[in-house]
Amino acid sequence: MEFTMSIGAVTISPAVGQPERFSPLARDTARATGFVTAGNGNGNPASTTTLTPEALKLVDDLKARDTEVRQHEQAHLAAAGGLAISGATYTYQRGPNGVNYAIGGEVQIDTSPGATPQETIARAASIQAAASAPAEPSGADRAVAAAAQQMAAQARAELASQETDNTGGAAAATFERMARSYGADAGRPAAAPAVNVYA
């Protein structure tokens, strides 16, 4: 059975706002206020478009967020190694300049346990490293890391239980061998020593 979990920067930066698909009104407003079109005087727009200072600021914010999101997701991919099921996928917002900028993203990783407790512990460590790889892990990243830590703790408990079972069986076998070596009475406690005191 394969389990997957998404890790990545999926929060929307307050400076950037909601992505275009969530806010059609914002898209229409940006179109109405973000562009200043230079005309040639006879009602036909010129081929060049100039952005307002507010629109330029928004473009700068979107560019910064795009860089941050892409670095965040690449950190996940680099640390995930063979656990990565997919490359990074992004949520985009179109800027007033017509360019799409990544404002969120995720990487799908396989979070299923291993075939043995030892393998599960190793996988959990890799999952935790992948989730914690970015400089600033998101809330979703921290949740994945915590789940991996819990998976490792359960695997360690299972491993300890197996070792206890194995150790207990070995001790019983050793006791039986000793009893046969020293005779039938070897397994029974000896009578308490008696001390005779005469006055």
Confidence of residue 165 (pLDDT cuts 50, 70, 90): confident
More confident residue, 116 or 198: 116
More confident residue, 70 or 172: 70
What sign for the dihedral angle of Cα 136, 141, 146, 148?
negative
Q: What is the pTM of this model?
A: 0.62
Rounded to 5 degrees, what are φ and ψ at 190? -70, 160
Alpha-carbon distance of 150 to 100, in angstroms, equals 38
Confidence of residue 18 (pLDDT cuts 50, 70, 90): very low
- pLDDT one-digit tens code per residue, 124-144: 999 999 999 999 999 999 999
pLDDT tops 70 at residue 26: no
- pLDDT one-digit tens code per residue, 105-123: 999 999 999 999 999 999 9
In angstroms, the Cα distances linking 126 to 11, 82, 123 are 24, 9, 5
